[in-house]
Structure 1
Amino acid sequence: MESNKIGIDYKAKAGRPDIYKNTVSRNNNVNIHTHVHTGIENNECDICGKTFTLMKKLKCHADKHAGVKKHECDICGKAFARKCNLQIHTNTHIGVKKFICDVCGKAFFRKVSLKSHMDVHVGIKNHVCDICGKAFTKKTDLNSHMDMHVGFKNHKCYVCGKAFSRKGNLKDHMDVHVGIKKHVCDICGKAFTKKSDLKCHVDMHGGIKNHKCEVCGKSFTQKSHLRFHSYIHADLKNYACDICGKAFTQKSSLNVHSDIHADIKNHTCDICGKAYTQKSSLKAHSIEHACFNHKCDVCGNAFSQKGSVKSHMDIHAAIKNHICDICGRAFTKKSHLNSHMDMHVGLKNHKCDVCGKSFTERSSLRLHYNRHAGIKNHKCDVCGKAFFQKGNLKSHMDIHAGIRLECDVCGKVFTHNGSFKLHMDIHAGPRNH
């Protein structure tokens, strides 16, 4: 008699019971294996109702419900319910990625991961959000997306504590702490930690301003800029200076303001080397180099127009044709007389943007700004001491000249001409102007 498919002689069955036993066992394995091809799933889980073709797989599945993890990793100690999962996990330690994408060459540890990855290339998005309708190629991406709707933020930064709904967002956030800037602008070379920041930056180069203010109509390239702009309309000033108490709508404005108190001058002129605390001050100074081409031969002051130089020369010639009708004070320029008249009527139209102090003359406001910026343009040639105003330097020079002014009334002695005049005004009493 011919032998069966697994090569066992039935004549030997009676004399060799062990061989017969193996034959039956193998036949049973063949019968069990055929269920895989037929797709018959007779083995059902009592807990979740899931069915399996093999009882062995059902037992492994039951271990998941029971929390039984028999297969432990020798390297890190992590345990798994199924041996195949342990094998896949072991590949991560040794870096073996057997499943490679034929399109882009990306490799994966698991076959199911490769299969899911292929949906990206063909554009298949089978996983759709029930709330907003957004579709995803991977179920894991959909699950992460759902966390956003329900407000779950399970991925927390261990540095600053900020939480995210997606692991990928946390990974991008960590680049901020370590200073990694992967996204580089092709136009100017500026780098960013976030792709979204690069996109907004590129819009700036293209002049694209999609974010419009509903109050005034002003447009911005970035949504954050629009948000800060809206604070102006709402008069929200959340950033206050610890030194003087002045409040600002933006933190960057507070940082610039703080440089004034610290006397930090990071903005230097490339032409003359003069430094400023604020970028706006440097910009205004640069205009002087570019536009003020008409120079005074006496003092060196520059002007944008030739007529301004001609008018300025009256100062050196001491020509004062413009006289105040109230106090009799004379001025070289009519504009100076007009500003002087504001003093008599109490008008102060020139207001400081930093502290709110008002002045009758624009020149006084300009000198006042120098105080905020820490700019002392008037320097003593003898001792090197610097002053905000030219009049203060002039009074200081009286000390070096040894000038001693004595009051005829009380005999008090002064070294400063300005202090002496103020003292004499006290004796003379209030003026009636």
Structure 2
Amino acid sequence: RKGPEVHSVTPVMLAQGAIFTYTGLQSLPVPGEISNGASSKSGAKGHEGVPCGRCFRQRGNLAVHMRIHTGEKPFSCPDCGRLFAYPSMLVRHRRIHSGDRPYVCGPCGLQFSQRAHLVQHQLLHTGDKPYSCPDCGRCFRQTGALAIHRHRHGGEKPYVCTECGRHFTHPSLLAIHQRTHTRKKPHICSDCGRGFAYPSLLTNHQRVHSGERPYPCAHCSARFAQQNNLLQHQLIHTGEKPYECPDCGRCFRQSGSLAIHRRTHTGEKPYSCPECGHQFTLSCVLNSHRRIHSVERPFPCSQCGKTFKQKSHYVWRWHV
């Protein structure tokens, strides 16, 4: 039986006959006495993590839990030096470098580096959308998609990039964006000098120079330099569109296509003309616009040789 509630570092009398106090990174036992002969099998948890009040039966579990509060990350990746709080997180991370994808989908054969990603993918086959919006009742396959959607009800973008001031609806979107400011790229391609954050990314890139395509499609004769490209290609054969817009429900085969589509909802125009400041949703539209400011006329008429700035219907119907 546990004694009265306590706070901070006040000692706690426990049924096991020991008192435990929180001292920085450890919880140390101090001999105590059982007042009424309580059994050691009472089930009380004998280690208390004071910052949040959670209790643990074993000191080791408390030590692991305390990393949440201290920020300690004792496990280092030997490939890139990134630090992790738990060995399981390091194991998952190292699959980025090795390319290991041990979790295989039975119905379609797609492979994943994390079990959670496989579980999310399998919802495509079952059709389940287990996460429901309490505001409008709309359902989603992923908790992240639901979280992004819920911000749309309030129009909130509470997550701000400290480097450039851009606002985001969800912390995961901010985290992805911040990599553009912070990521180091120490692995350099000897052919072109381009830098990469991880050795595996450099290996994938070097196939551009070598022409190697080690990933064949089982359904057709296509071959690919990267496994991700093969996985994207296989969606053509399976008909799957795993990337769902949290705003309108439209689905896409590629995450990049979804990102471009979402600009129709957000109004985001990230590409700005340096000459006049006009902003555009797509980089290709910006490139087309910039010819207005230049003398470039890259589209010649095949009949008379007259050149044009835009590849438009006007070019092809000039002689009609």
Identify the TM-score tier after normalising by the shorter chain: 0.3 to 0.5
Q: For CA contacts below 8 A with separation 6 or more, give which structure has more relative contact order.
A: 2
Q: Which has the higher strand share?
A: 2
Q: Which has the higher helix share?
A: 1
Q: Which has the larger radius of gyration?
A: 1
TM-score w.r.t. the length of structure 2 is 0.39
TM-score w.r.t. the length of structure 1 is 0.31
